[in-house]
Structures are given as structure tokens and as C-alpha cells.
């Protein structure tokens, strides 16, 4: 049977991969639109922006804050400044997403030059989020592995498993799962499963 530590870490990494994939697809599809190889599908883009906004904010970050970070703070002081930085970044997310929504709306309205502005905003956001995910995986998780107790990992795995397990999943996690599959189906191949 898989131990709680491996289970928790693999769910956290899998959630990071899903977020990274959606952000990467947004970037790549905008390049295709810019090169006029792809027609802009605004409803798909709004769905992807909703996903990268709501999934971390409602499911992923709260579980890091409430379980992983808070438990690690109880066990060691060594991660405190890193946790402060990561939590500030969690709080900065809504403003970054508001900028993306504004620029996507301007592009949809046909504002001149707005595609380039949207691409720049997405690139800045992608850098920001990749730094965040890398710091969590390369700096925070090793500290957690060194300092958390087996019982901490049981609790953390339990909290994160509720995102991943459809049987115990919350209404939120089912909605995000369905939304992600819908995005993949509508994203043109080879990035997704939709018509190229």
C-alpha cells in the first residue's frame, strides 16, 4: 500500500502538472492565433482562465495553507520565510488573474494591440506560477519530507485526497474535474483532443 507521504506528494505534484499544462496551452494557443494558424475560441479561453483562477484558489492553495504549510510551521522554523513568500504569492494570484481577464476582454472587444498585451500578461503570469510551483516542489517539499511526522502526512494526504478521489470528492472537485476534461476535449490537437 502506498504510504501517506508518497500519496500526498504525488497528488500535489499532479495538481501542479494540470495547472502548468493549462497555462502552457494558453500560451501556445495564443502563439497559434497570432500566427493565424488557429481561430480564437473565446469561450474556451474564458473557461481556461476560470480554471487557472478558481482551481488553485478554491482547492489547491487552501489545502497547502491549512495543512502542509501550517503543519510544517509547527514542526520547524526553517521553512518560515519560504512559507511567508509562498503565502504572499497565493494572495497575489487574484490580482494577476484580474489582469488576464481584463486583457482577454480587451482582445475580445477588438482593442488594437491587445493580443500582444494579453500575451505579455500571460507570459508574466506563467513565469510567476512556475517559480511558485518550483519553489514548492524543490524547496518546500524536501523540508516537509525532512521534518513532518508520519501522522502529519496522514492528515495532509487525507486533505489532498479529497481533491483527487471522486468518491470522497467535494462538489467543487467534481466541477473542476469535469471542467478540465471539457477544456481538454475542446483544445485543438495536438495540445488537446479537439479538432486540429
Cell, residue 15:
495538481
Give residue for cell 473542476. Answer: 176
Stretch that binds Fe ion, among 17-25, 29-37, 56-64, 108-116 (CB under 5 A): 56-64
The count of chain residues that interact with Fe ion, using the rule CB under 5 A, is 2
The half-sphere exposure of 130 on its side-chain side, counting CA atoms within 13 A, is 11
* 103 near Fe ion (CB under 5 A): no
Contact code string over 2-41 relative to Fe ion, x by CB under 5 A: ----------------------------------------
Joined together, the cell numbers standing for residue 85 give 513568500
Judged by CB, which is closer to Fe ion: 5, or 29? Answer: 5
User: What cell numbers appear for 73 in the block?
Assistant: 510551521
Distances (CA, A) of 138 to 104, 171, 180: 32, 31, 26
The three-state secondary structure class of 78 is coil
Among the listed ranges 21-29, 92-100, 114-122, 128-136, the one in contact with Fe ion (CB under 5 A) is 128-136
**How many other C-beta atoms can be found within 10 angstroms of the C-beta atom of residue 164?**
18
Q: What binding mask, one character per residue, do residues 62-91 give for Fe ion by CB under 5 A, x or -?
A: --x---------------------------
Q: Closer to Fe ion by CB, 96 or 117: give it.
A: 96
Rule CB under 5 A: say whether 136 interacts with Fe ion.
yes
Neighbouring C-beta atoms of residue 28, cutoff 10 Å = 14
Q: Which stretch binds Fe ion (CB under 5 A): 18-26, 44-52, 57-65, 177-185?
A: 57-65
Cis ω before 108 (30° cut-off from 0) = no
Place of cell 500526498: 8
Q: How far apart are CA 40 and CA 25, in angstroms?
A: 13
Residues 152 to 181 in contact with Fe ion, rule: CB under 5 A: none
Stretch that binds Fe ion, among 68-76, 113-121, 134-142, 164-172 (CB under 5 A): 134-142
We find the least distance from the C-beta atom of residue 3 to Fe ion, in angstroms, to be 20
Q: Residues in the site for Fe ion, rule: CB under 5 A?
A: 64, 136
Amino acid at each position: 500500500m502506498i504510504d501517506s507521504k508518497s500519496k500526498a506528494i504525488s497528488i500535489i505534484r499532479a495538481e501542479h502538472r494540470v495547472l502548468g499544462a493549462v497555462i502552457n496551452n494558453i500560451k501556445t494557443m495564443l502563439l497559434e492565433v497570432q500566427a493565424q494558424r488557429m481561430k480564437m475560441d473565446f469561450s474556451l479561453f474564458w473557461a481556461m482562465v476560470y480554471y487557472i483562477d478558481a482551481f488553485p484558489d478554491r482547492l489547491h492553495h487552501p489545502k497547502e495553507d491549512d495543512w502542509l504549510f501550517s503543519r510544517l510551521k509547527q514542526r520547524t522554523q526553517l521553512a518560515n520565510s519560504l512559507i511567508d513568500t509562498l503565502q504572499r504569492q497565493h494572495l497575489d494570484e487574484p490580482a494577476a488573474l484580474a489582469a488576464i481577464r481584463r486583457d482577454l476582454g480587451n482582445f475580445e472587444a477588438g482593442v488594437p494591440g491587445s493580443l500582444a498585451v494579453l500575451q505579455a500578461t500571460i507570459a508574466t503570469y506563467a513565469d510567476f506560477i512556475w517559480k511558485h510551483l518550483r519553489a514548492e516542489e524543490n524547496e518546500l517539499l524536501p523540508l516537509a519530507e525532512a521534518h513532518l511526522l508520519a501522522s502529519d502526512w496522514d492528515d495532509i494526504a487525507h486533505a489532498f485526497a479529497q481533491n483527487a478521489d471522486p468518491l470522497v470528492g467535494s462538489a467543487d472537485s467534481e466541477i473542476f474535474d469535469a471542467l478540465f476534461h471539457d477544456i481538454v476535449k475542446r483544445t485543438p490537437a495536438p495540445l488537446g483532443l479537439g479538432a486540429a
